Chain A
Amino acid sequence: DAKTTQPTSMDCAEGRAANLPCNHSTISGNEYVYWYRQIHSQGPQYIIHGLKNNETNEMASLIITEDRKSSTLILPHATLRDTAVYYCIVRVTSGTYKYIFGTGTRLKVLA
């Protein structure tokens, strides 16, 4: 089972910041938080990942709470092309390297 909880869907106005929350209350100290997104009919695309510190790259920012039990993915200026399903994943590290996907958050960016 997925170790994360995300809202089923969210809307965001074009040009505004999209803040996508994720709960991972059972995360272990050495487990990374990953975010991927999937645009219709394509394979998932890597966005960002982090362990403890906040991270930023050209696509997004990842804010991880101090207790690491939740995180937020921020798309600073959402565009229509950001409409996708966003998956928050906690990487299982108990002797395996598989990623367990949940059902994700369906983000719709509105014009």
Chain B
Amino acid sequence: DTGVSQDPRHKITKRGQNVTFRCDPISEHNRLYWYRQTLGQGPEFLTYFQNEAQLEKSRLLSDRFSAERPKGSFSTLEIQRTEQGDSAMYLCASSLGRAGGNEKLFFGSGTQLSVL
């Protein structure tokens, strides 16, 4: 399977705990995106990387969220001191970025987070 891989598929945690999700993009894809999706809503942009550089973070993203992409390969998204409002599907996507916006995003199946 050469698609975008996310781990774990499901995570249940207690409020106040830290959680970390991993995303393995399609090999050689230079751009990697994180999105969050709640029931009935479209995916909400969180952040994206070009290679190892984090180029943009959503203003809605609290300081409890941090993402990394060491060496420009896999990426991790960490949420510290989780809150019940963090319960959502966390989606990762990758693309082979081209100038001018002519590219396709490939999404993983997501990590479903439930904060109790």
Could you list which residues of chain A lie within 8 angstroms of chain B, going by C-beta atoms? 2, 30-32, 36, 41-46, 49, 51, 85, 87, 91, 93, 96-104
Contact = CB atoms under 8 A, between A and B. Distances in A.
B42 interface: yes
Given A43-B107, A96-B55, A103 B100 contact: no
A99 B56 CA distance: 12
A14 B42 CA distance: 25
Contact of B100 (A2, A30, A41, A44): A30
B97 interface: yes
Contacts, number: 61
A43 B56 contact: no
B110 interface: yes
B42 A2 contact: yes
B100 A100 contact: no
Contact of A42 (B101, B102, B109): B109
30 contacts: A2-B42, A30-B101, A32-B101, A36-B105, A42-B109, A42-B110, A43-B108, A45-B107, A46-B105, A46-B106, A49-B104, A85-B42, A87-B42, A91-B101, A93-B101, A97-B31, A97-B48, A97-B50, A97-B55, A97-B97, A97-B101, A98-B48, A99-B33, A99-B45, A101-B42, A101-B44, A101-B45, A103-B41, A103-B42, A104-B42
Given A98-B56, A100-B45, A101-B44, A93 B107 contact: no
Interface of B: 4, 31, 33, 35, 40-45, 48, 50, 55-56, 91, 93, 97, 100-110
Nearest to A51: B102
Nearest to A44: B107
Contact of B101 (A31, A41, A45, A102): A31
Nearest to A96: B56
Contacts of A101: 35, 42-45
Contacts of B44: 101
A43 B101 contact: no
